Amino acid sequence: MTKITFVGDIHSAADDLRALLRDPVIRKNQIIFVGDYIDGQAKRRFSDHTETNRLDPLGVLDILMARVARGDVALLGNHDELWVETARQNADDYLLWQHKSGHQLADQLGIHATKLAAVAAALNRKPLRKYTEFLANLPLTWENAHLFAVHAGLNWHRALDRQRPEDLLDIRGPYFYQNTTKDKWHANQLGKIIITGHTPVQKLTGTGVGYLKMQANAHDVPRYLINAGSRSKHFDGGISALTLTATGQFVQEKRAIKGHLYDGNQRVTEKMIRN
């Protein structure tokens, strides 16, 4: 039986990605990465202390490039798009990238310039050019007859072939909820199981769980949110991996936190992660 593993937002956590890829179920499957491979926050905040984790965006991209070369799929995320648009000298996106993760240009990518033209030039020459070209060629969506993957979600007011990049890469509340009071999930109007990242699970449920399965009612086609908050400052932030059959049957959900694997349904506590 064909199985497919969907991997959520990574945000420079190469160590957790390597741990996840060693899982005996995941390592046998085709993998669909749903975007946001770079940037991230180094701090992990517990109730009584803060830890510092390494950010390794180029290590993540090296892993992804090797995986895609062997048949896996990497989708574009909104942070990845900011890298690409900065390389194209898009001033607005460069300012947004600076706001989100500007200090990392020097710390993680070795770019000490601040003017757009110089930053773009660095992204378009060695050693960073191969990463720019890789990110620039990533698709926005992946699908088969039963499953659909995208970074952020869909705009329910637009047909699938009329979705805008900003919908696919950045949408949040209107994709999740039926109304502004956010007390009811929106119905899945696509008719396929949808897998997304972008919004950390912690923002919708608090802390502890690794993914969300969303249905407006018992007959609604499920949607899965698999951003487990990797490098997001949450104490339980990690990388989530959802494995389904090609027809959408649930197989397993795992997440990697500080190099250790946990079941996605397992509520993780601070004590567990400290040990």
What's the token pair of residue 180?
């502004």
Domain membership of residue 255 as a residue range: 3-77+138-274
102 pLDDT higher than 80: no
The pTM of this model reads: 0.97
Amino acid making up residue 52 = T
What pLDDT shows up at residue 134?
A: 98
Does the residue 83 lie in any domain?
Answer: no
Residue 93 lies in a domain: no
Asked if residue 200 is part of any domain, the answer here is: yes
207, pLDDT greater than 80: no
Q: What does the pLDDT read at residue 103?
A: 72
Rounded CA-CA distance 154/118 in Å is 35
Distance in angstroms (rounded) separating the CA atoms of residues 169 and 84:
14
Q: What is the mean pLDDT of the chain?
A: 94
Confidence of residue 3 (pLDDT cuts 50, 70, 90): very high
CATH code (residue 66):
3.60.21.10
Domain-located, residue 212: yes
15 assigned to some structural domain? yes
Confirm whether 91 is domain-assigned: no
Instruction: Please report the pLDDT score of residue 205 as a whole number.
Output: 84
Q: What percent of the chain has pLDDT over 70?
A: 99
**Residue 235, in any domain of the structure:** yes
Domain tally for the chain?
A: 1
With b for 16 or more beta-carbon neighbours within 10 A and e for fewer, the 226-258 pattern comes to bbbbbbbbbbbbbbbbbbbeeebeeebbbbbbb
The residue written with tokens 């039926």 in the block is 178
One-character DSSP codes across 101-169: HTTHHHHTT-----SHHHHHHHHTSTTTHHHHHHHHT--SEEE-SSEEEESS---TTS-GGG--HHHHH
Q: Distance (Å, rounded) from C-alpha 159 to C-alpha 163?
A: 6
Q: Is residue 102 part of a domain?
A: no
Alpha-carbon dihedral sign for residues 86, 68, 31, 38? negative
Q: Is a pLDDT exceeding 90 seen at residue 117?
A: yes
